[in-house]
């Protein structure tokens, strides 16, 4: 018995520490292969008077857009929710997300349990469904980007990898719709219909998929625009057409829980590859990498800091709600009806 407890504890520590170890190793590699003098020179030449308000504007826009999507999501699948209720929840989730993504999702689910009387796993199910929609949206944007920009900026094997990944995700989407909407059980998978964590999948109609995929494609589009808006301050020259290909790939990789803090490390290595031609010409590879590393490090940390500040602003009001014994609101079955 003691051995089993120790093994479980070891696994928990490994799962917790592994992303941090991977992040440290990749950042160490970037640091060792970066011309630090050129790195600081790039920062000295950066137009921060334009960059800082641009980051603030982008973060606030993304925050408001994401909040609106979540308000529609929870009103559709769980309970009537106002935009005013959703704002502090989404803001606080930014703060928790820096520590642990699961903590952020659990915090939102806990709110709906305490304030709306929604079972915890049902609220968590809505977050799970939205994550699935986000992955599908990224797959569609990768295909759109390849169509707009071609494959000239990709390595020899990358087009097939991206096509295969996007194709597999869309195949999963089709299979999911057949399973949940057409009632096909795929042999032994029928038992999933009884699991509360899949409640949102059971409620979702084809119209829901179309609406929310459209919303999240537009939402990820704000990431593309944000990169396009920030690059000129670092003397990086990229077109929206090219970023439609690269940013969805970077965002997709950033969602894989291999590293911590907004994909730092993995995303930065990929930026070296994808943004190579955006640096002013006639520079050595080392100088190009230093230029891109300065951009990637500054933008990632700036967006993280901005989100932490948003979370800090709202955290007090959410903590106050959870610390009080608030009468649970009731919601009828009508909450599962589509929001107009």
pLDDT of residue 147: 86
> Which residues, other chains included, contact 20 with Cβ-Cβ below 8 Å and sequence gap of 6+?
260
pLDDT of residue 258: 62
> Which residues, other chains included, contact 200 with Cβ-Cβ below 8 Å and sequence gap of 6+?
77, 122, 125, 126, 128, 129
Residue length, the chain?
340
Least confident span in 55-59, 98-102, 278-282, 322-326: 322-326
* Residue 47 forms part of a structural domain: yes
Domain count, the chain: 1
* Residue 80 forms part of a structural domain: yes
Whether residue 334 is predicted with pLDDT greater than 50 in this model: the reply is no
* Residue 24 forms part of a structural domain: no
What number is the average pLDDT over the span 105-125?
86
* Residue 23 forms part of a structural domain: no
pLDDT, averaged across the chain: 83
* Residue 21 forms part of a structural domain: no
pLDDT of residue 325: 46
Question: Among residues of the chain, what percentage have pLDDT more than 70?
Answer: 85
> Are the C-beta atoms of residues 77 and 199 closer than 8 Å to each other?
yes
Q: What torsion, rounded to 10 degrees, do the Cα atoms 132, 137, 139, 145 define?
A: -170
Question: Among residues of the chain, what percentage have pLDDT more than 90?
Answer: 41
* Residue 319 forms part of a structural domain: yes
Structure-token pair, residue 36 = 């630090």
* Residue 25 forms part of a structural domain: no
Q: Using one digit for the tens of pLDDT, what is the confidence trace for 175-213? A: 999 999 887 777 777 788 888 999 999 999 999 999 999
Total-model pTM: 0.84
For 329, list phi and psi in degrees, rounded to 5: -80, 145
* Residue 183 forms part of a structural domain: yes
Q: Using one digit for the tens of pLDDT, what is the confidence trace for 50-84? A: 999 999 999 999 999 999 999 999 999 999 999 99
Domain range for residue 239?
35-323
Residue position matching structure tokens 């170890």: 21
């Amino acid at each position: 018995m003691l051995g089993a407890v120790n093994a479980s504890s070891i696994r928990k520590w490994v799962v917790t520490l592994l992303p941090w170890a991977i992040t440290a190793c990749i950042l160490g590699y970037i640091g060792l292969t970066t011309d630090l003098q050129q790195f600081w020179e790039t920062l000295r030449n950066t137009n921060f008077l334009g960059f800082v308000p641009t980051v603030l504007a982008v973060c606030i826009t993304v925050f408001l857009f994401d909040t609106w999507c979540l308000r529609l999501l929870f009103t559709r699948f769980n309970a009537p929710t106002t935009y005013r209720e959703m704002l502090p929840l989404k803001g606080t989730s930014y703060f928790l997300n820096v520590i642990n993504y699961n903590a952020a999702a659990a915090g939102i689910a806990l709110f709906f349990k305490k304030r709306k009387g929604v079972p915890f796993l049902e609220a968590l199910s809505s977050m799970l469904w939205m994550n699935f929609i986000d992955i599908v949206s990224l797959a569609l944007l990768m295909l759109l980007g390849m169509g707009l920009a071609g494959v000239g900026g990709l390595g020899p094997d990358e087009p097939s990898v991206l096509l295969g990944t996007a194709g597999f995700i869309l195949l999963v989407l089709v299979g999911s719709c057949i399973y949940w909407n057409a009632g096909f059980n795929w042999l032994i998978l029928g038992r999933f219909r009884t699991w509360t964590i899949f409640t949102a999948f059971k409620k979702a109609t084809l119209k829901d998929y179309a609406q929310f995929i459209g919303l999240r494609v537009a939402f990820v589009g704000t990431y593309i625009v944000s990169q396009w808006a920030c690059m000129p301050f670092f003397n990086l020259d990229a077109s929206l057409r090219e970023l439609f290909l690269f940013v969805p790939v970077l965002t997709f990789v950033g969602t894989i829980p291999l590293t911590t803090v907004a994909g730092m490390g993995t995303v930065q290595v990929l930026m070296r590859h994808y943004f190579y031609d955006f640096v002013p010409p006639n520079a050595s590879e080392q100088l190009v990498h230093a230029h891109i590393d300065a951009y990637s490090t500054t933008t990632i940390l700036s967006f993280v800091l901005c989100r932490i500040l948003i979370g800090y602003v709202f955290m007090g009001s959410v903590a106050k709600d959870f610390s009080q014994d608030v009468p649970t609101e009731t919601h009828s079955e009508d909450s599962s009806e589509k929001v107009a």
